[in-house]
A and B are shown apart, each in its own frame.
Chain A
Amino acid sequence: MKTIISGFGCLCSLGDNVNQITKNLYEQNVEPSFITDRFDSSYTSEYPAFEVSKDILRQKKADESYSFLFLRKALDEALKAAGLDEKELKKFRVGVCIGTSVDVSFNCFDFYKSWRKDNNVSLDPLKKYLAYSPAQEILNFLSLDGIAQTIVTACASGTDALGTAAEWIKNDLCDIAIAGAADELNLIPFTGFIKLMIASKKPCRPFDKNRNGINLGEGAGVFILESENARGGIKKAGTVLGYGTACDGYHITSPHPQGRGLTKALNFALPQAAISPDKISFINAHGTASIDNDAVEAKVFNSLLKGIPVNATKGLTGHALGAAGAIEACLSLIALNTAKVPKTKNFKTIDDNLDLVPTTQNINIDPTKAAVSTSLSFGGCNSVLILGGKNYE
């Protein structure tokens, strides 16, 4: 599979656009904070999270979710980078594939609370929720017809959206795809992860011996994917080379201890990309900093991709749930295109049980090789992308 990435856009706690993110990815002057002004919870001053900039948050329209705001901004950046606009898109068969978690869940807490007290409250939030899906909303926003899909494989949603859309193009189901993911900080998952005891009160430490859980994050990543024939000879920002996904069928919150699904996903994606491990310059791990996730990833990487540099970026972005895979695919492309992998923030102490030391400093890589980006989700979905940068050969 060689689906061209003609442009991408991103926003997260690292920055409002790809340029800002590129700078901060290596400078790493980013810390989580206590989100006390977005939702009312007694936990907000205990558990830090990574928020996008206040400048972005202020741009939210009254009738849109934060997630859609993030999508809209990243989409705008991606389309500009790809040299596309609505008029140009209308010439092609367009597909939209968006991953999310919060944005299609019935997390209208304030409405629900009011409704429980009084069934006669305005039903507008409910009606909006019933009619909404971000993929369709993007088609509507761009006044396009086309195929639309919103993927909700929890934390693997972003990776699955990108892989699914890339494969639509490979299989000639569309010419151009808008693929990506978005999620926002929200009371329900914020409380839920704390109750499941996998949230940390400290900045998260992927692969560290003393890791004790995740920090939540938010943001969006959007990619413009094209077939090689859609617009011949365009300048590419990268390539989707392979995509693998397989389920553990094991547990709702814990990955299979031997990494059953992740192994299968890698074993599908690598042959699809037609590359051997020596053509991989680094692995962007899911690296949530939860005890189980990092242990399973280390086991699988050591088994299949031993010796390849591993980095984890959740110490910079937090865990943006459904958006994580798309944001990290953007970060992986940035790394490939700048020939440099960032260090794994907050990693200090080696965990002897893992036999894996992630990047401890920014390291130079061969930009003609590929990157592997992994996502492991609630419900046991394991998904993998093999990405090439603009210089991939």
Chain B
Amino acid sequence: MNELSIKSSSFSSNSQGLSEFFDIKKLRRIDELSKLSLLCAAEIFKKENIDFAKEKDDIGLIIATGRGPIKQTCNFMDSIIDVGEILSSPLSFSASVHNSIGLTITSLLNLRGPCLTISQGATSFASALITAQSWLLSKRAKSVLVGAVDEVFTVTSKAFEEQTFKKNCAAFFLLTFAPSSDRQEKLALQHDKIDNLNPSLEAFDFAYKLKALLEPQDIKKIIVDFIKTYLAANKIKVMRIFESTQSIEELLKDISEADRVHIFEGLENMFGAKTKLSSTKLSADCFRAFAENNSITFLTSGSSGKKKTCTHISSMIKEEVIGVSKLFADIKRIVSVAPTHHSYGFIFGLQMPKYLNVPVESYPPLPNFKWNEILRQGDLLIAFPLFLDYLRKLDFKFEKGISILTSTAPCPDMLIDDMIKRGAKSIVEVYGSSESGAIAFRKKSGEPFSLFPFWKAEYENGNIEKISRRKTSLEIDFPDIMQNAGAGKFYIKGRKDGAVQVAGINVYPSKVENILKQLEYVKDVSVRLREDRLKAFVVLKSGIKKEDVEKEIYKHLNATLCTPEIPKNITFGDAVPVNQYGKKTDW
């Protein structure tokens, strides 16, 4: 009964929403740190229907801040240095006092109970919880609003360029001793996140984890991306669908009943809807289904065999977002060409912008857009190898200060190096799959990949055989053939494609591909399962005619493979079929 419970929480790294609650004139002299705190407190009061105007002495307030209003302290020192003590700014001095954050909240939200400010470095938030509990035990307050707030300031951000996670945030929690209910969460802090450069990080991450993964507007965005991708893949309205302003209703207009059925089945599967979706309230139905399941199901591309469904629960997605976001602390905006219904686009193009609180703009992965006008300094471009190759072919030059995040499909080192030559500030490759989500990353071509800290590697004979998600029971076979490069580091040496069954025998499409690639006149090849047998798609080198080599190919296959391994059908073409994101697809 006397365990702290979270009645409500909020998290913000941007104070723009304050104007919803307060007259802007009242906020003019308030510094950003206090504004962030005020916004979080106001959001909680709104959620809990607490009257802003009424004087309240039964709600305690504890501000936990590792550094306090440090920018104001620097401002005051700046004024002493620049204009001397005599002309220095008294306003900066009074705003530099740690207690000023509490004052902003107590005065504008009419709190009249106990108010404390704690500055205990990177354990400020955890320490504040002790006194919150004590206050509730002593009945000083019926509930305690504990807010963790900190800002990154010039000196640390410049001095610790590589290490600092540049994030000014506030995370607030309304705590009580009330019995647990569905809407209350137990406090469970992890004390392995001590970061002196960003002392309130633990509280920020904790508050983020308590936020809903998807808002209704996110669901609409995912549905739109899903429909557009379906229509493009099925060559329906290809040009029209990339007009980004189209609504769900407009996209579904004039399509066949069969296509509608396929789209609805896909969405039902994605959000786990237990009943058929209706056309009239599609996004509301999907949102309700998502809220019931608290998970989302992605469909793999099928590049390594059959398409598979992969369900991801909210808590693991958020852990992943927190882990990957730390690689991109500097960015000011995200521009994504990855659709949000794919796990990659979902994490980086939808969730990461929310966590980092940076704006995001989505574009279709078409090379004919005016990318020079779209991309600007401080952007992170969420891309994939095929799209980067489009840019290479266009002889595209990046403006200064644009970073790139790409999936590894794989992404050739030459392409990475080429992007850097074209002016990209940095390129981070993220290695993963729809089944696992993000697994590892590397920041430079040629270097080994590093596992994200939420994965633990299990080694056998010096190689990673399995990876398991820390603090969960999730364990997956390592997807590819790797070469060990030290603890948690590895090189990818090739796909470990899963066997498929033909006539009751395990056969390996990758083996068949390799056999075909041995032929000197074969440029590229793709092999996959077609109903009960394998099929192959072969691209011949320039000047080689199908008629001249087809028989020889079958002869070669018959000589080297057993019957179940031999493709029943070979298709010849100019290029191996890939989807719009560069992944091998069916034909």
Which of A106, A151, A171, A188 interacts with B117 by CB under 8 Å? A151
Q: When chains A and B are docked, how far (Å) is the Cα of A43 from the Cα of B84? A: 11
| Cross-chain contact B116 with A170 (CB below 8 angstroms) | no
Q: Mark A107-144, 1 if CB is under 8 A from B, else 0.
A: 10100110110010001001100111101100000000
Which of B130, B138, B156 interacts with A170 by CB under 8 Å? B138
Interface presence of A264 (CB below 8 A):
yes
| Cross-chain contact B77 with A109 (CB below 8 angstroms) | yes
Q: When chains A and B are docked, how far (Å) is the Cα of A151 from the Cα of B113? A: 17
| Cross-chain contact B120 with A153 (CB below 8 angstroms) | no
Q: Mark B102-142, 1 if CB is under 8 A from A, else 0.
A: 11001101111111111111010001101101110110100
Interface presence of B339 (CB below 8 A):
no
| Cross-chain contact B98 with A152 (CB below 8 angstroms) | yes
| Cross-chain contact B117 with A152 (CB below 8 angstroms) | yes
- The smallest beta-carbon distance between A273 and chain B, in angstroms, is 13
Which of B99, B113, B131, B196 is the most central at the interface, judged by chain A CB atoms within 10 Å of its CB?
B99
Interface presence of A253 (CB below 8 A):
yes
| Cross-chain contact A246 with B134 (CB below 8 angstroms) | no
- The smallest beta-carbon distance between A108 and chain B, in angstroms, is 9
Q: Is the interface of A mostly helix, strand, loop or mixed?
A: mixed
| Cross-chain contact A173 with B130 (CB below 8 angstroms) | yes
Given contacts A171-B137, A377-B99, contact A249 B68 (CB under 8 A): no
| Cross-chain contact A154 with B138 (CB below 8 angstroms) | no
| Cross-chain contact B159 with A168 (CB below 8 angstroms) | no
- The smallest beta-carbon distance between B27 and chain A, in angstroms, is 15
Which of B96, B110, B134, B159 interacts with A126 by CB under 8 Å? B159
| Cross-chain contact A154 with B98 (CB below 8 angstroms) | yes
State which of A5-13, A15-23, A191-199, A225-233 sits at the interface with chain B: A191-199
Q: When chains A and B are docked, how far (Å) is the Cα of A165 from the Cα of B156? A: 33
Interface presence of B57 (CB below 8 A):
yes
Residues of B contacting A168 in the complex (Cβ-Cβ under 8 angstroms)? 130-131, 134
- The smallest beta-carbon distance between A39 and chain B, in angstroms, is 11
Given contacts A149-B130, A245-B116, contact A43 B85 (CB under 8 A): yes
Number of A residues, CB within 8 Å of B: 66
Interface presence of A297 (CB below 8 A):
no
- The smallest beta-carbon distance between B150 and chain A, in angstroms, is 11
Residues of A contacting B197 in the complex (Cβ-Cβ under 8 angstroms)? 130
Which of B70, B97, B135, B140 is the most central at the interface, judged by chain A CB atoms within 10 Å of its CB?
B97
Interface presence of A325 (CB below 8 A):
no
Which of A123, A173, A188 interacts with B77 by CB under 8 Å? A188
Given contacts A104-B119, A196-B94, A381-B116, contact A171 B61 (CB under 8 A): no
Which of A153, A173, A247 interacts with B113 by CB under 8 Å? A247
Q: When chains A and B are docked, how far (Å) is the Cα of A195 from the Cα of B87? A: 8
Q: When chains A and B are docked, how far (Å) is the Cα of A248 from the Cα of B115? A: 9
Q: Give how many A-B residue pairs fall within 8 Å (CB-CB).
A: 198
Interface presence of B562 (CB below 8 A):
no
Closest to B70 in A: A106
Q: When chains A and B are docked, how far (Å) is the Cα of A381 from the Cα of B131? A: 16
Q: When chains A and B are docked, how far (Å) is the Cα of A196 from the Cα of B118? A: 24
Q: Mark A66-82, 1 if CB is under 8 A from B, else 0.
A: 00000000000000000
| Cross-chain contact B134 with A164 (CB below 8 angstroms) | yes
| Cross-chain contact B116 with A41 (CB below 8 angstroms) | no
Within 8 A of B (CB), among A253-275: 253, 260-261, 264, 268, 272
Within 8 A of B (CB), among A335-393: 377-381
| Cross-chain contact B94 with A164 (CB below 8 angstroms) | no
Interface presence of B80 (CB below 8 A):
yes
Interface presence of B15 (CB below 8 A):
no
Q: When chains A and B are docked, how far (Å) is the Cα of A381 from the Cα of B114? A: 8
Which of A116, A196, A377 interacts with B81 by CB under 8 Å? A116
Q: Mark B58-74, 1 if CB is under 8 A from A, else 0.
A: 00010000011010011
Which of B109, B113, B134 is the most central at the interface, judged by chain A CB atoms within 10 Å of its CB?
B134
| Cross-chain contact A148 with B73 (CB below 8 angstroms) | no
Given contacts A133-B120, A153-B117, A196-B90, contact A379 B99 (CB under 8 A): yes
Q: When chains A and B are docked, how far (Å) is the Cα of A42 from the Cα of B107? A: 36
| Cross-chain contact B94 with A192 (CB below 8 angstroms) | yes
Given contacts A148-B120, A381-B115, contact A173 B94 (CB under 8 A): no
Interface presence of A332 (CB below 8 A):
no
Q: When chains A and B are docked, how far (Å) is the Cα of A376 from the Cα of B409? A: 63
Which of A126, A191, A245, A249 interacts with B107 by CB under 8 Å? A249
| Cross-chain contact A160 with B123 (CB below 8 angstroms) | no
| Cross-chain contact A132 with B121 (CB below 8 angstroms) | yes
Q: When chains A and B are docked, how far (Å) is the Cα of A149 from the Cα of B64? A: 10
| Cross-chain contact A191 with B88 (CB below 8 angstroms) | yes
Which of B88, B116, B121 interacts with A195 by CB under 8 Å? B88
Residues of A contacting B74 in the complex (Cβ-Cβ under 8 angstroms)? 106, 112
Closest to B95 in A: A252
Q: Mark A168-202, 1 if CB is under 8 A from B, else 0.
A: 10110100000000000001110110111100000
Residues of A contacting B120 in the complex (Cβ-Cβ under 8 angstroms)? 133, 135-136, 148-150
| Cross-chain contact A105 with B73 (CB below 8 angstroms) | yes
Within 8 A of A (CB), among B286-335: none
| Cross-chain contact B102 with A381 (CB below 8 angstroms) | yes
- The smallest beta-carbon distance between A293 and chain B, in angstroms, is 15
Interface presence of B208 (CB below 8 A):
no
| Cross-chain contact A249 with B110 (CB below 8 angstroms) | yes
Q: When chains A and B are docked, how far (Å) is the Cα of A79 from the Cα of B121? A: 26
Given contacts A247-B102, A379-B99, contact A112 B68 (CB under 8 A): no
Residues of A contacting B580 in the complex (Cβ-Cβ under 8 angstroms)? none
| Cross-chain contact B121 with A133 (CB below 8 angstroms) | yes
Closest to B65 in A: A152
Given contacts A191-B88, A192-B90, A246-B114, contact A112 B121 (CB under 8 A): no
| Cross-chain contact B106 with A268 (CB below 8 angstroms) | no
| Cross-chain contact B127 with A148 (CB below 8 angstroms) | yes
Q: When chains A and B are docked, how far (Å) is the Cα of A51 from the Cα of B563? A: 95
Q: When chains A and B are docked, how far (Å) is the Cα of A253 from the Cα of B140? A: 25
Interface presence of A294 (CB below 8 A):
no
| Cross-chain contact A150 with B93 (CB below 8 angstroms) | no
Interface presence of B158 (CB below 8 A):
yes
| Cross-chain contact A378 with B77 (CB below 8 angstroms) | no
Which of B93, B123, B128 is the most central at the interface, judged by chain A CB atoms within 10 Å of its CB?
B93
- The smallest beta-carbon distance between A160 and chain B, in angstroms, is 6
| Cross-chain contact A195 with B107 (CB below 8 angstroms) | no
Which of A126, A149, A191, A272 interacts with B156 by CB under 8 Å? A126
| Cross-chain contact A130 with B106 (CB below 8 angstroms) | no
Given contacts A246-B112, A247-B113, contact A379 B102 (CB under 8 A): yes
Given contacts A115-B155, A136-B121, contact A379 B93 (CB under 8 A): no
Interface presence of B585 (CB below 8 A):
no
Q: When chains A and B are docked, how far (Å) is the Cα of A153 from the Cα of B140? A: 17
| Cross-chain contact B121 with A131 (CB below 8 angstroms) | yes
Which of A123, A171, A196 interacts with B138 by CB under 8 Å? A171
| Cross-chain contact B127 with A264 (CB below 8 angstroms) | no
Interface presence of A56 (CB below 8 A):
no
Given contacts A148-B120, A148-B123, A154-B97, contact A107 B73 (CB under 8 A): yes
8 contacts between A and B (CB under 8 A): A152-B99, A164-B131, A188-B77, A245-B114, A246-B115, A248-B112, A260-B112, A380-B103
- Further pairs besides A123-B159, A168-B134, A248-B112: 10, Cβ < 8 Å: A115-B155, A130-B156, A152-B99, A188-B93, A249-B103, A249-B106, A264-B57, A379-B97, A381-B99, A381-B102
Listed in ascending order, the chain A residues whose CB lies under 8 Å from chain B are 41-43, 101, 104-107, 109, 112-113, 115-116, 119, 123, 126-127, 130-133, 135-136, 147-154, 160, 164, 167-168, 170-171, 173, 187-189, 191-192, 194-197, 245-253, 260-261, 264, 268, 272, 377-381
Listed in ascending order, the chain B residues whose CB lies under 8 Å from chain A are 57, 61, 67-68, 70, 73-74, 76-78, 80-81, 84-86, 88-90, 93-100, 102-103, 106-107, 109-121, 123, 127-128, 130-131, 133-135, 137-138, 140, 153, 155-156, 158-159, 196-197
